[in-house]
Amino acid sequence: MSAALDPTRTTAPFDVESIRADFPILHQDINGKPLAYLDNAASSQHPQIVIDSMSHYYERDHANVHRGVHTLSQRATDAFEAARENVRRFINARSTKEVIFVRGTTEAVNLVAASFARPGLRPGDEILISWLEHHANIVPWQLLAGQTGAVLKVIPITPAGEVDFAAFEQLIGPRTKLLALAHVSNALGTIVPVERFIAVARKHGVPVLLDGAQAIPHSKIDVQALGCDFYCFSGHKLCGPTGIGVLYGREAILEAMPPWQGGGDMILSVSFKGTTYNQLPWKFEAGTPDIAGVIGLGTAVQYLEGIGMDRIAAYEHTLLEYATERLTTIPGLRIIGTAPRKAAVISFALEGIHPHDIGTILDVEGVAIRTGHHCAMPVMEFYGVPATARASFAFYNTRAEVDRLVAALLKARDYLT
């Protein structure tokens, strides 16, 4: 058995150096300095076992999935559907019928907008989102509102970066047809108490979509316990490949939804008299899928289960606390978003220095962070800043890397002011 999938890891002391050994990309120099990769909210890194699983498919099993009678096709199909079961278990969906493979969170949201929301919307109906959202959970609803005459309503946020629950209770009403919320803010790290919002939505009979792209890498997700109708996430945020993601949907709702795209694999039969659609989950998976990406994602969630999501969350919380404490010692540094419950993400501004300049200086020091508006321009508008610098941590990061971040920021401050 690979050490990366060793079940004893879930009970052994958290050994970050052993975990780091699983990630080949971490062991390199950037500009002559050891890499400190602190851009995990944009995209996390891959353990070797994920890379190997995709290479094995391409080297040994590459063929199109489903309906093939030859050995390679059958092996590819088995690996593809085994990955679906891995994802089902990882999020505790009731059935693999509720696990739809898509290109990522953005495609998942657009699928729900087109297939679930659009058919039932009438002029004056309301879609409810928050000021905290990523553009992927704003623009699809703006497009839909423009096409249907629906109204997009926005829940405000507080100065700490929390979604205003009292304001939400005032906004939801009889015309509300959907609540779409981020589970965790990508720009600020705020953990939204979505259970409270879902409970109110249920009382109003309002279905709920959660953008889980930033939540699922940092904590154990149980879609049944959450009680949401849709949960969307991307593979590349949780040690999987880019270009693959998941839409979870309640089976009864998915059954009632029309297909989103037409083509191969989403049909049972086609004639010029009409088409019979495939059953779930394939009804929503038109065309040849990203087979290697699905296999890589299935391996990634196995890898994370082998470490334990609760242990990952606990370790990352200690990193967040340490980084917050260290960063607040830097003169002129302002943390943007100070909610008491946060994932391991810190956005900040350094007085007198543009975030892009910060990012450039840090890169010279081998420290990789993200700078910009983080696809959350309304959040930047709320705080009155054009952009922020963002350090985002994963379970393979260390306190020593936090120290390097602080040292590099002090150097940038001295150099640029």
List all residues 6 or more positions away from 59 whose beta carbon is below 8 Å from its beta carbon. none
| pLDDT recorded at residue 416 | 75
What is the architecture, at CATH level 2, of domain 3-47+308-412?
A: Alpha-Beta Complex (3.90)
The C-alpha torsion from 71 through 77 and 82 to 88, rounded to 10°, is -170
CA 399 vs. chain centroid, Å, equals: 24
Per-position DSSP letters for 69-99, written without gaps between them? -SHHHHHHHHHHHHHHHHHHHHHT-S-GGGE
Whether 375 is catalytic: yes
Domain residue spans in the chain? 3-47+308-412, 52-305
Burial label for 369, CB within 10 Å (0-12, 13-18, 19+), is: buried
Q: What is the CB neighbour count within 10 angstroms for residue 273?
A: 5
Given a contact cutoff of 8 angstroms between Cβ atoms, the answer to whether 240 and 213 are in contact is no
pTM exceeding 0.75: yes
CA 219 vs. chain centroid, Å, equals: 11
The C-alpha torsion from 155 through 135 and 159 to 189, rounded to 10°, is 120
Own/partner contacts of 264-269, CB < 8 Å, gap of 24 or more, are: 264/288, 265/66, 265/289
Ranges under pLDDT 50 in the chain? 1
> 291-307 vs 309-327: helix axis angle to the nearest 10?
80
Please tell me the total number of residues recorded for the chain in this structure. 417
Taking only the tens place, the pLDDT of each residue in 391-405 is 999 999 999 999 999
Side chain identity at 411, as an amino acid letter? K
**How many Cα atoms occupy the beta-carbon half-sphere of 249 within 13 Å?**
24
| pLDDT recorded at residue 384 | 95
DSSP code for 26: G
Could you tell me where the DSSP H helices lie in 217-308?
223-226, 251-256, 291-307
Helix (H) or strand (E) holding 146: helix 139-148
Torsion sign (Cα): 195, 198, 202, 208: negative
Catalytic residue, from 228, 232, 239, 375: name it: 375
C-alpha dist (Å) from residue 87 to 57, 80, 329, 384: 18, 11, 41, 39
Phi, psi of 256 (to 5 degrees): -80, -15
- Residues 108, 121: Cα–Cα separation, whole Å: 19
Could you tell me where the DSSP H helices lie in 153-290?
165-171, 194-203, 223-226, 251-256
Check if 3-47+308-412 and 52-305 are the same fold. no
List all residues 6 or more positions away from 271 whose beta carbon is below 8 Å from its beta carbon. none
Cis ω before 281 (30° cut-off from 0) = yes
From the candidate CATH numbers 3.30.470.10, 3.40.50.10210, 3.30.56.10, 3.40.640.10, the one assigned to the domain spanning 52-305: 3.40.640.10
Taking only the tens place, the pLDDT of each residue in 124-180 is 999 999 999 999 999 999 999 999 999 999 999 999 999 999 999 999 999 999 999
| pLDDT recorded at residue 1 | 41
Paired strand residues for 181:
210
Side chain identity at 294, as an amino acid letter? V
